[in-house]
Amino acid sequence: MTVEHEDKDGEGRFFVRMEGDEADLTYTRIGPHLIDVQHTYVPQSARGHGVADLLAEAAFEYAREHGDRVVPSCPFVRKWLQRHPEQWKLLDPPFAESLQRHARP
């Protein structure tokens, strides 16, 4: 499965084409090195197959490659981050601190 990327004037998305549909993760550039990951959508027929995970991984790889920090507005991405604490270093500092506080027993 290939994740594609498109960006136009600071509005972007990572997406996967599948039989007659697309799954995507959308973001907005809200600062020179800051992206807000806002929404993840996967068609019902493709859910449970790791598609959303691939999209999140692509978004964080993009942020790493471009020296960006991430604001995780998307509920799926916030949940995904709980399983991937190695990605917290790419978060905008206030969000990283919040995740760390909630992850502790």
Please list the active-site residues.
74
Q: Please count the other Cβ atoms lying within 10 Å of the Cβ belonging to residue 105.
A: 2
Pairing of β 21-31 and β 69-72: unpaired
Distance, CA of 2 to CA of 66 (rounded, Å):
20
CB 5 within 8 A of CB 58: yes
